[in-house]
Amino acid sequence: MTFAEKLNKQRERSEAAGKGNRKRPPEKPKTRKKTDKPKSGKPRKLLRVLINILIVVVVLTVGVVLALTVFFKAETIEVSGKTPYKAEEIIAASGLQKGENIFLADKQQAEKKVVDNFPYIESARVNIKIPNGLVIEVTKAKGTYQIDTSAGEFLLISEQGRILESQTERNESLPLVLGANLKTTQAGKTAEYDDSNVNKILQQVQATLAENKFEDIRSIDVSNTSAIKLDYDDRILIDLGNITQLDYKIRTAQRIIFDKLDPENTGIIKGELDVSSSYETKKSYFNEETIDLAGTVTATTPQTSALQQQTTENQE
């Protein structure tokens, strides 16, 4: 091998070694290509819900408009309940009209007009009768006591304190109110008194008497509202005191009269029974007068102690 050949081989080895030691450039990190994520279904569901709600609102709105303008028009107007007035009169006074919408009709105003125009109607209520009717339900007023006007007339008053009419004769089956000064006498109006408490007191007394079935009360004296008095059967004057514990006092008076004083209901016992403090003290007092068949009146000693025991035993 010649010198030149050796030199070439040595050069070749050197070049080959140089190529083997050359560093490769660092590879760039591979990056993933961005891809679009799949769209969520929530916006579509929300949109669908909103559309459904809108449809329902539109349908309901159309239904309400049709109900108020086209459907549910009053074709019949009726009157129910006992009353001394004709149905045509009541309907005319109410102001209700056929053809008006049964839901939009002014029912409260109609009720007020009926009560204001007819003294013997204690209350009125307008009800809807589906699909196209209105019913005026009335409650007849009932006379529960009379008031002497000192002008030869008696005003008949209902249980709610309504003046029903003026009468020329005394009705002995109803209590006569004493000591009440009226401010108005117009039929159909609520009775007004100089003492504003009188109306409430009379209503409570009448309601309590009715609840306990205490009959034959001839008069109710409210000239002193702290010393209310009842006249039982024109022979026993019951002193109730004020209006507190009214039911207790009336029941006490009943038990004393029917169980102690006159259990046989002879009608010969006469006097004054004081139950005004019976609730607080459990004591009642009776000042007695007896009448025989000939009508002779004899005063006797008050039977206080016996009534104390009677009242205490019955109420405890």
pLDDT tens-digit profile of 150-168?
Answer: 778 999 999 999 999 999 9
148 with 192, same domain?
Answer: yes
110 with 86, same domain?
Answer: yes
Q: Where are the beta strands (DSSP E) in 66-160?
A: 76-80, 121-129, 133-140, 143-148, 154-158
174 with 126, same domain?
Answer: no
Here the tokens at position 128 are 């809807």
C-alpha 156/C-alpha 145 separation (Å) is 6
State the pLDDT at residue 27. Answer: 60
92: left (phi over 0), alpha (psi -120 to 50) or beta: alpha
Q: Is residue 278 included in any domain, yes or no?
A: yes
pLDDT less than 50: residues of the chain: 291-306, 309-316
135 with 154, same domain?
Answer: no
Q: Which domain holds residue 117?
A: 76-140
Quote the number of domains for the chain: 3
CATH code for the domain in which residue 98 is found? 3.10.20.310
136 with 123, same domain?
Answer: yes
- Given 140, 160, 185, which residue is the final one in a domain? 140
pTM over the 0.95 mark: no
pLDDT digits (tens, 9 = 90+) for 82-116: 999 999 999 999 999 999 999 999 999 999 999 99
